Amino acid sequence: MNQSVYKSEEGQRLIEAAYRVHLDSALGAALVKRTVETDRGSTFVLEKSGAGKPPLVLLHGSVSNSASWLGVIPFLAEHFSVYCLDIPGEPGLSSQERLSLRSESPALWLRGALDALGLEKAAFLGMSLGGWYALNFAITYPERAGALSLISTGGIGPERPGFIFKAMFFLLLGKRGQRMLNKAIYHKVEMPEEILEYQALVSKHFRPVNEGLPRFSDEELKTLRMPLQYFGGDRDTLLDTKTSVERLSALLPHAEVHLLADTGHAIIDKFDAANEFLINTWGKSGKNT
C-alpha cells in the first residue's frame, strides 16, 4: 500500500481548507470548478473558457496546486479557454494516488484528462514539475500538443545534487528554515505573505515527491516539432538550467529559449512573454480544436 502523501488526516484537512479559501477568493469565485474522471483517478479542474477560444492547459509545480495560477488566469483567458489541472499526488483536490514518473502513467493521466474535458488538442503552459508533465505528454502524444511554454522545467538538464536533503534540513529548523528554503527557491522574488504562509502549511503537513525527474533523451527531445518556449533562471537551486538551454538550443533550433540572469527557480514575471508566444503560435491554429 502506498504511503499517504499527507503526514496526517488533520494535515490534509488543513491544507484542503486553506486551498478552498483561495478558490473562494475574488480571483477564484468566477471560475468553473469541476472534477473529471480518468483511469488514473479523479482530476480537479479550474476552468475559464469561451466559445471559439483555443484551449490552453496550465500545469502547476510540485508541492503546489492550481491556486498558483489564480493571478494570471483572467489575463490568459482573454485569448484562450483556460484549464488548470491539479496534478494527482500533489496538495490539490485531485486523486491522492501519486503517479510514478518512470512509467506511462503521467502521459496516460493527462490524455485521460483531455479526453474528459473534450479537448482533442491543446497548448500547455507548465511550471517546474508541471512543465515536465507537459513535455512528457508532448513527446508521447505529439499530435495532441499544439505548443509548449515551459518555465523552470525539469527533465532537460540535470537536477542540482542534494537539494532534497538540503530542503529537508531547512524544514527541521522551523520558521527560520522555511525562510531559508524560500530564499533558495525564490532568490530575489518577493512573494506575498499569505502565499508564504500557505506554503509553510503545506511543507509542514505534506510529503513531497522524492523521485528524481527522469531526463528525456536526445532522441525524445528531437521528436518535438510543435512551437516550444523555455525560461530558466541562472540561479536555479534545483535545476542546471544552463545545460537545459544548451541542450534545447542544439536539439531544437526552432525553440525559443531564455536563460534569465540573476533569477532563481521561481519565475513569475514572464507570463506576458508566454502569452504572446502562445497567441502567435497557437492562438489562431487552435481555434477549431
Where does the pLDDT of residue 179 fall: very low under 50, low under 70, confident under 90, or very high at 90 and above?
low
Domain span at residue 168 reads 9-282
Q: Report the run of H or E that residue 283 belongs to, with start and end.
A: none
- Tell me which residue has cell 488533520: 10
Higher pLDDT, 186 or 120: 120
pTM of the model: 0.93
Where does the pLDDT of residue 1 fall: very low under 50, low under 70, confident under 90, or very high at 90 and above?
very low
Exposed, middle or buried, 174 (CB in 10 Å: 0-12/13-18/19+)? exposed
Q: Mean pLDDT throughout 184-192? A: 68
Q: What is the DSSP string of 86-150?
A: PPTTSSSSS-S-PPPTTSSHHHHHHHHHHHHHT-SSEEEEEETHHHHHHHHHHHH-GGGEEEEEE
Query: In this structure, is residue 4 part of a structural domain?
Result: no
Q: What are phi and psi of 30, to 5 degrees?
A: -85, 0
Cβ atoms 190, 215 nearer than 8 A: no
Please report the pLDDT score of residue 278 as a whole number: 98
Query: In this structure, is residue 289 part of a structural domain?
Result: no
C-alpha cell at 42: 479523479
Q: Mean pLDDT throughout 121-126? A: 98
Residue 7 contacts by C-beta under 8 Å, 6 or more apart in sequence? 204, 205, 206, 207
Query: In this structure, is residue 287 part of a structural domain?
Result: no
Task: Tell me how many domains the chain contains.
Answer: 1
| SS3 state of residue 232 | strand
Query: In this structure, is residue 62 part of a structural domain?
Result: yes
Residue 195, pLDDT > 60, answer yes
Residue 36 belongs to domain with CATH number = 3.40.50.1820
Query: In this structure, is residue 3 part of a structural domain?
Result: no
Query: In this structure, is residue 245 part of a structural domain?
Result: yes
Please report the pLDDT score of residue 196 as a whole number: 78
Query: In this structure, is residue 189 part of a structural domain?
Result: yes
Residue 276, pLDDT > 80, answer yes
